[in-house]
Amino acid sequence: MRIIPAVDVFEGKCVRLQQGDFRRRKVYSADPLEVARRLEDAGVRYVHLVDLEGARAGRVIHWSVLEQIAGQTQLKVDFSGGLKTDEDLRRAFDLGARQVCLGSVAVVFPLKVYKWLQDYGAQRIVLSADVHRSRIVISGWQEETEISLISFLESYLSIGLRTAVVTDVSRDGMLGGPALDTYRYVRNSLPRLQLIASGGVRTLQDLESLQALGVTGVIIGRALYEGTLTLSDLEPFLC
């Protein structure tokens, strides 16, 4: 199971939101690159880099943070937030992103994302399925759609998608435990999907529960920044 720390960027700083609410954010570091280097030094190999302002605005804001982290560490960067055009994807990969994680654009412009899957391959395109009350939310989690989680995932699996990050927005940043029932349902409904769980992870027991479900990876955010999980706790999963 892949461990993927989250580095969420707002106003150039490393922050965390609670339940996707931009008013409920906490700054953990003024230097996202320094955070990434600390993760790399601890043996982490993957990072989920999110441009929060880009996600809300619908255009990438923090290209420079991607360039710094991808260019000055060996971390494999999954980049998300505001990616919308062919040029955005080319630039993200040129700056060193290993993968891009696509949410709002995959809802609003599905044909465009289908083409990107063909052009770049499923190993480089990850679907971001952000969920509130079993419905997909977009625009930095500010807008709820009528699209169900499973139908959204199925539509992309049918045209070659391999991997999706599923985030229960109500759990994100709350340290209340992951949405195990949701992930169990997705695993049972779509066994071919490489599922990455995100939101609510707090303890080693949470990681063990997710591993038992057979998820491909887990994104961890606030638990690391608040210290309910430490980098040394993650060592068994980083081997």
Phi, psi torsion values for 227, nearest 5 degrees: 90, 10
Q: What's the rounded Cα separation, in Å, for the pair 129 and 169? A: 10
Q: Which residues are catalytic?
A: 8, 130
- DSSP per-residue letters across 7-27: EEEETTEEEEEETTEEEEEEE
Residue identified by tokens 């320094």 is 34
Q: Which amino acid is at 228?
A: T
Residue 89 in tokens: 């994807």
Give how far Cα 77 sits from Cα of 87, 157, 201, 235, Å.
18, 23, 20, 20
Tell the residue number behind the tokens 């529960």, with chain if given: 209
**Which residue in 15, 105, 11 sits closest to 62, CA to CA?**
11
Phi and psi at residue 8, in whole multiples of 5°?
-100, 130
Is the Cβ–Cβ distance between 161 and 152 less than 8 Å? no
